[in-house]
Amino acid sequence: MAYSRVAYRYVKSLLQLAVEQNALEAVHADMLLFDRVCRQNRAFTLMLRNPVIRHDRKKDVLTALFSGKVHALTMAFFDIITRKNREPLLPEIARQFHQAYNEYKGIVSATLETAVAPDAELLEEFKKIIRKISRKNEVELHTKTDPRLIGGFVLTVNDLQVDAAISNRLKTLERELTHNPYIKSF
């Protein structure tokens, strides 16, 4: 939780600076790249969090990996973070930056979980519903397939979750059928 709060302050500053320098799209792409590297390479993330490894070594690794591949503002940000000995925050900053970017641009992020992959027409219908629920024009819809749902869907938009999966309805029905109101339960 403390990491999250501190990381958000850096995210806010980086977002504001990127907007001022007209580099928002480039910095956003850089943060997505950094987040992807962190998710795919656990050793890299552990290196950033390791207190035994000196900060100048971590800076050298960041420079070797990202120099020439990311915007100058992103490299300057990495430099500031390493000088302040805050490298463990970088994965969290990258993750939160995408959320802050979406908020700034008015994009709502949603997750749709289904038993089978939905077609393009169905996805567009869900996007219309999400636009209506969130009152935002742009929708970033992530899809997941889980055959355990049997059928139906689970839609998550911000804090709202609509669970219309058949597996959930079967569980509810099972609870109702196994509950006997005439037997006292302790």
Q: What percent of the chain has pLDDT over 70?
A: 98
Name which of 154, 170, 10, 182 is nearest 82 in CA terms.
10
Categorize the per-residue pLDDT at 1 as very low, low, confident or very high, splitting at 50, 70 and 90: very low
The mean pLDDT value of the chain amounts to 93
CATH classification code of 2-103: 1.10.520.20
Residue 141 amino acid letter: L
Given a contact cutoff of 8 angstroms between Cβ atoms, the answer to whether 123 and 34 are in contact is no
pLDDT, average across residues 29-58: 96
pLDDT, average across residues 141-148: 95
pLDDT, average across residues 94-121: 95
Listed by start position, the domains of the chain span 2-103, 106-178
Question: Strands 138-145, 107-114: parallel, antiparallel or unpaired by DSSP?
Answer: parallel
Phi, psi of 159 (to 5 degrees): -95, 0
Spatial separation of the C-alpha atoms in residues 171 and 39, rounded to whole Å: 34
pLDDT, average across residues 86-108: 96
Q: Give the number of other Cβ atoms within 10 Å of residue 78's Cβ.
A: 22
pLDDT, average across residues 102-109: 95
Given a contact cutoff of 8 angstroms between Cβ atoms, the answer to whether 156 and 111 are in contact is yes
Q: Which pLDDT score, from 0 to 100, does residue 158 have? A: 87
Q: How far from the centroid of its chain's Cα atoms is residue 112's Cα?
A: 14
Each residue of 8-27: pLDDT tens digit? 999 999 999 999 999 999 99
| pTM score | 0.82
Angle at CA of residue 176, ends 174 and 182, nearest 5° = 130
Spatial separation of the C-alpha atoms in residues 161 and 173, rounded to whole Å: 20
Question: Strands 160-163, 107-114: parallel, antiparallel or unpaired by DSSP?
Answer: unpaired
Spatial separation of the C-alpha atoms in residues 181 and 32, rounded to whole Å: 53
Spatial separation of the C-alpha atoms in residues 174 and 94, rounded to whole Å: 43
Q: Which pLDDT score, from 0 to 100, does residue 180 have? A: 76
Categorize the per-residue pLDDT at 2 as very low, low, confident or very high, splitting at 50, 70 and 90: low
pLDDT, average across residues 97-113: 96
Q: Which pLDDT score, from 0 to 100, does residue 186 have? A: 62
